[in-house]
Structure 1
Amino acid sequence: MLDESRILPLNLFLNTMREGCQNEKRYCFILGAGASKTSGIPTGEELAKQWHEEILERYTQQEIQQLKKRLGVRKTKPSSKAYFDLYALRFFPDYHNGSAFLERAMEQAQPSLGYYPLAALLASTENNLVITTNFDSLVEDALFIYTQKKPIVISHELLAQYINFNTRRPIVAKIHRGLFFGPLNRAEQVNGLSEQWKEILREAFKRYTPVVIGYAGGDHSLMDFLKDTQKLNGLYWCYRHEEPPAEIQKVVEQHDGFFVPIEGFDEMMYLMGQKFGYEDPCERIKRVAEQRVTHYQEQVGAFQAQLRAMTDPSEDQSRILRALDENQQAKLQRLNRSLELDGEDGQTYRERGMLFYQANEYQLACHDLTRAAELGTEDSQLYLQRGNCCYYLGQIEEAIEDYGRSLEQEENSQAYRNRGLMYMQKQEHELAISDFTHAIALTPDQQILYTLRARAYCINGEYEKSQADCGRALELGLPSAEIHTVLADALENLGQDEQALQNYQKALQLDPDYERAYNNRGVFYLSRGQQEAALADFRKATRLKPEEALYHANVGSALNELKRWKEALTSSNRAIKLNSKLAVAYQIRANTYEGLGQKEKAAQDQQTYETLNREAPQ
């Protein structure tokens, strides 16, 4: 008989949990098969019943008795406790068939609605640990779908040592292993926990109070550990309808815990989400999906542009380009026919505009997207894509305007990011920083956003903020040449010369052809009086990106320092030919003319420099 003094109504438990979190108490979740049922995965009891029927169909009573004796099986009455014995009988002698059966059973499973609040809690609070006997990937899938957090997934006991409870990253500990790591399915495999898991769980339960959901305690691994371990820091055991067996009651009493009656995993987690104020995730999912589509389309467009620009593409590259062209042509013909039948179909104009965008036909794309908007088929993504078209057409102001319209329709990280890039081109760095900050608020785990804001901070003279953003970018993903170059620029301006040079070197180790790292290191060398080293770096930058006027101007600056006036004049002239609005090139050439004794030309270039500087955005 269940002790009523140990029963907590669900609402009371959820209030207690929320208040505990506010008081820095940490909870973890122990999930069993019952938490996966509404996601389309059979429970252990359901699988036991299925296997029991299949065993009866396949074998005679005599064969079953012989198999039971051979395998040491005792429990065959279908129940969650008989799961392991029935698995052994059903799939002997080739347990790879059992693994394949489970793969098929879990293949199409999708996280049910209860996994959203669970994922949100794991990602946004210090209640970031799930311990599960399940093999499925529902928790990881939910984190991918609903949050920006990538979890630490421990799918084998040999990986348990890599759990770090000080991280804010979600942790999924699969004590019976993951589906693709030789899951533990037979009684002898779950006859006690491995020492690796025991050590980790002891440490976990010092920090977290466990909340058990959907776990029936049918194994001799986790259940025996809960029986034998020292007293836990509380324990909440959720159960549905039927009174938990005496074995579980004893464990809860042993740890001075409570039972929480629930209707099911989804119902409980949904109410928990309400308590913690988690909003409906549908709009965010839709926005992320649209951004992924846009990102893919941009990649396709850039890929095509790269292939078209090649003077001597390989046969494989030519084949890819032909396939892309043929696919787009077929779509284009279909859309053209649709518009012939109905010239007022805004959705078709929108679709054709997107197709033109992918094909790098930005003028045509702009026309169709504009027509779609006129016909009432306007949305955030339409203006985002039209803004991208304007950017590629060199229409920076129009691009900024369209990104603004996109954001009026719906806030999205990509529009903020792209508008920030436009502001960077206009040298309006405070506006760029503001947009990158908004983008980060919407998608806080995107490495590129911190990298872009770090660069904007650095140009704006906010070097410590730039350094901090570079550090965050490095935490979020693999190191890149760009991140280390921006970090080096910030460190240089903070007077940390040795660390700055180390980061320029790291950048070039990661990408030996990253021209900006050579150019910026050249600026560093030149400011420290190392003209020859600076000249070598500037020349390397011009060889890697010969169309960049600034790099040629910097070559001229280094040659001026070395009093190699004629060579400096050649480099300055080249810079001005490439970009007649580059103010600094005129100043460098003015210095060159001074060195050559041509005072009048020097004065003219100095005047041009000052005029361009006044006209430049502040």
Structure 2
Amino acid sequence: MSAYASRTLDDIAEVIRHADGECVFLIGAGASKSAGIPLANGLLAEIERDFPRAYARARDKSYNSVMAELTSAQRSKLLSRHMEQAKVNWAHLALAQMFHLRKIDRILTVNFDPLIMRACSMVGEFPAVYDLAVAQEFKPARIAPRSVFYLNGQHTGFTILNADAELQAHRQRLQQIVANTGTHRIWVVLGYSGAADPLLDVLAEVPVFDNGLYWIGSRAQPSQIVIDKLLSNPEKQAYFHGGLHADDFLKGLAQKLDCFPPPLLSRPFEHIEKIIAHIDFDTGGDEGRTAHAELRRQIADSRARHDDQSVDLMALLMAGKLEQLLREFAGLSHPTERQRTVAAWALLRQGRLLEDEASQLAHSDSNQAQLKWTQAAQKYGAALHIKPDMYEALSHWGEDLAHAAQALAASDPAAAQAKWELAHEKFASAHEIMPDNHLVLQRWGYALQAQGQALAATAAPQALQKWQLAQDKFRQALNSAPDFAPAALALMHSLLQQAGLAPAHSAELRAAARAAGEQAEQIKRGSASLALARLYAQDGELNSCLRALEQAEQSGQDGQVQALLHEASFQELMASLLRQANWEPARSAELRATAIAAAELAEQIQSGSASLTLARLYAQSGEADSCMRALEQALQNGQGEQVQALLHEAQFQNLRKHADFAAWLAQRGMN
């Protein structure tokens, strides 16, 4: 993967703090995912289910191609049923509050949903709104200083753009808004893949972002397309921050900028009073004045009954001011149950932060990492002292011990095993309090799985026992939450590990693993695509492998797909297919077509990765033009010596009789 520069959350907060409000956020589908609006893969699954003929017609199974096969009314209905039910999430609320407090001055969205506008209204912000999909002209002088732009339309608007032809025709308008937004602003791009419209290419045309562009990703690494087009060129001043979903990133950023929580959550009565202050009750005559008096009485009564100190503690918790919260709690002589709950959550949050620090230190300073895990355990213990039935603290304590054990497994196996056993005690206590909680069961399963891995080399029977217990936990998690894809994926990996240690039952276990992976994929497209592709390749099923790789690529896992294409199992599958084509003349054309499809997919994912293979296949099929393109790509990737060697193979001799191919060879001095 190419080099790129990274920035931390603190780095981004610092530059925004000193930008005098000149900051633009570009948000994509990832910002709305937790609100209940599916990503492209989820929508594709719905189209395949509800409109199978339209899905089959699409030239490829990308979002834009499939959407192009639906009518505009069908697209609108598909999107609207999700958007009308979606709720404002933490991400939009935090973004709206930063907008309201003048930390940013413009929001661009490629989404069709109304969530950012709903969130703005909740915090008392009512910006100008522009829909570029229906704008007949672009008039920069008429743009309000603080504004929201729907770049590709709104779900209730006259036009929504989500087919390739529509989006390409819209490119000039995107260039205008990017130019108007300018590079004097800080750019923050969040929840946007760059795969479904020309906007990434438009951003790539900008020579330099003078105040920086910060690309925020939920995964630890950016996609290769974003690296190639934006991040790999240091002169652009574009940076990456990964590993946080939209809710966590925006809440964390808003906290660091003292913008969270909004008064709606921390001071609800004051917030209501500010809202009704904008109403002229006198215009309602006696009824209006009576209604005003009644509202004020109800607010006063509610405020008198409410525990203001608990509200203050909750506001501090949401603001991330944990030390201040715990100091104030310690000063209470007779804390209420609500106050005790808030303080327990503050301690749990501190434990989680210490766990994160430990994980970052695990590979560089094991002693400091163990210290952080111990400190985290103390926080969970303190939370349970305040609130003994807090199963969440027990569950995280178990996870903390399991992580510490895993880090010790190589250097001190006995100490590691002791920590794992303590972890199981914590999980068991959490499970007793909350027996149907799938997250407790999932974490417990992960701990058992890791313990089994540590035992595998020296105590195979015990390892198998731990893995079987882990599988039981993953199955229980799925029973409690049937749509929880991580449990099915974890079950698949556990069964495959067991198959490696129990060869007598390998076929049975691999079949069960495949079923678990396919269940995960059915629950959430892309969740198990890579694991399934590897399994299919090992089992010699190229077509299934290709479908899984395509799904993984569509899910934004192109970097992992590239790595898998170079694995021995995939390479051997390709070689086996070509040998089979030579051995079975009757199926030669069919098998070569399959091999070409596989190599073209590899080339599509990583240019140059299969150029030589494709050239050989095209030569065998007599496709001179395609062969020349593949050879040209190989030359561009610095494979000149391999091309020269390839041209001496027998299948290229017939192509030399082709006039265009002969001319191409002569032009490059390869006669």
Instruction: Tell me which interval the TM-score lies in, with the shorter structure as reference length.
Output: 0.3 to 0.5
TM-score by length of 2: 0.40
TM-score normalised by L of structure 1: 0.43
Pick the structure with greater CA Rg: 1
